[in-house]
Amino acid sequence: MASYFKDEKNSIGVLLEIFGRIQKAKDNVKGKAKYHFNALLNADPDEPKVSKILAGFFLQKTNGEYRVLKSFVRKFWGDNLAAMIKSPTISTEEFVKDDKRIDILIYEKDKYAIVMENKIWDALDQPNQLANYIEAMMGGSYNFNEDQIYVAYLPSTNEHQPSPNSWENRGGDSYQERFNNRYKLLGFKEEILPWLESSKEVQEIKDNPHFEHSRFLFIDFLRRKLDIDNIDNMTQKEIEKQLREYFSNSESAIADAERLVQLINKLPKIDINEVVKQLGKIRKEKTKLAMQEWLSYLQRDYPASFYDVSTKAHMAIGTTVPYKGTPAFFSVFIWNFHYNEANSVAIALTDQGAPYRKEVESKVKNLVRGKKGFLKGNAWLYYKYVSFEEAYPLLQELVRELPSI
């Protein structure tokens, strides 16, 4: 089924079919409620415009104080960081390292930098995205220490999280654990919207009717876009029904998951937020089914050594391979963080292998040298990002070759 999308005409046909189903879904709920006009909603702002709106709230001053920004920082990072805010620079689409742009950047020289990545429409992460932003803040004219940098990731809901690769720099070093206390996952639905609705500091700004009106419009916009409004919820359910019908004739969950990834990557850059959202939801379900299919293969091929240590946040299934002449074992596994399209096949050592790590690293390096795309890990020895259809064959290949090193 993967070859289906190599034909551009077929891809366009698929998109036209899906857009037809979206229109049908909207027509099915049309007229079921009173007309609800919101200028902001009708303008349908993209991520950069939503970033400007949010930054606009942070710029609001009352009696010379950035009370809205302080309320936000206090809510999510606490009093100590909020107390540092005196005269911040607040910008959007801030160009930094390698022409990358930080959606919202808030900083005061030599004190703190808050990097905010806006993913309200759940766009996929760029390679090394968060790591690039962190390193940009530590270099150039910014020159912050790592412990002065704070990161916020703002997806539509807290179901969506940064991929592990987003935290890794090009050398394979990850910032994820080091930012454990300075990173916040702030879904618009679970965190941003409730803060806007209930923050005492925000509600008390009565001397600026323009601010209050803007807040009202933005809250209404978020409620409707995030399925909190009943009519949008009806539309989303109808869209989901149409898309499920379209993807209901699969013979293989792995092929289904691959098909969805390829389709989403080919969607044009237009207003397709409903499509992306529902396809992402189905993709997550299909990924879990693909995991079950892989697990059945592991049980069949490696009945004595397969394992499944998956959690709600990630998938981790694989098998172990003895490191000859020692009590140590290699762990070869398929990893998927938050059940998205970013599958990894990885090689690690089990706990018994710690004394042998140094000698093993060079041997494994030689093994994967001829296999393009492998990266050096920290906890893991080496790993490679792969498609759904590549994952299990690569795992089998490594299991066959590791005993010979």
Quick: pLDDT tens for 147-205: 999 999 999 888 888 888 899 988 889 999 999 899 999 999 999 999 998 888 777 77
Q: Which ranges in 179-336 belong to alpha helices (H)?
A: 193-198, 200-203, 209-225, 230-246, 253-266, 273-301
pLDDT attached to residue 37? 61
Query: Which of 96, 130, 127 shows the shortest CA–CA distance to 116?
Result: 130
Looking at the DSSP assignment, which residues form a beta bridge with residue 149?
A: 113
Answer with the residue of higher pLDDT: 394 or 210: 394
Residue 285, φ and ψ in degrees, nearest 5? -65, -45
Indicate if the pLDDT at residue 340 is higher than 80: no
136-153 pLDDT per residue, tens:
999 888 999 999 999 999
41-89 pLDDT per residue, tens:
667 788 889 999 999 999 988 888 999 999 999 999 999 999 999 999 9
Looking at the DSSP assignment, which residues form a beta bridge with residue 319?
A: 306, 332
Average pLDDT, the chain: 83
pLDDT attached to residue 122? 76
Report the pLDDT averaged over residues 348-377: 88
pLDDT attached to residue 4? 37
Pick the most confident of 9-18, 114-123, 181-190, 232-241: 181-190
Give the range among 90-94, 292-296, 333-337, 340-344 with minimum mean pLDDT. 340-344
Report the pLDDT averaged over residues 266-290: 68
pLDDT attached to residue 295? 93
pLDDT attached to residue 55? 95
Indicate if the pLDDT at residue 318 is higher than 80: yes
Report the pLDDT averaged over residues 362-373: 90
Report the pLDDT averaged over residues 358-384: 89
| Residue spans of beta strands (DSSP E) within 341-405 | 343-349, 375-376, 382-386
Confidence label for 341 from pLDDT (cuts 50, 70 and 90): low
Q: How much of the chain, in percent, has pLDDT values that exceed 70?
A: 78
Contacts 24+ apart (CB under 8 A), 357-366: 357/381, 360/323, 360/328, 360/405, 363/405, 364/402, 364/405, 366/405
Cβ neighbours of residue 78 closer than 8 Å, sequence gap 6 or more: none
Pick the most confident of 141-155, 189-203, 240-254, 340-354: 141-155
Cβ neighbours of residue 74 closer than 8 Å, sequence gap 6 or more: 81, 82
Looking at the DSSP assignment, which residues form a beta bridge with residue 118?
A: 154
pLDDT attached to residue 266? 62
Q: Tokens standing for 188? A: 């618009």
Q: Tokens standing for 200? A: 């005492």
Give the range among 324-328, 336-340, 386-390 with minimum mean pLDDT. 336-340
pLDDT attached to residue 367? 93
pLDDT attached to residue 83? 96
Indicate if the pLDDT at residue 217 is higher than 70: yes
Strands 149-155 and 183-185 come out as: parallel
Answer with the residue of higher pLDDT: 299 or 350: 299
Residues 149 and 182 sit within 8 Å (Cβ to Cβ): yes
Residues 229 and 7 sit within 8 Å (Cβ to Cβ): no
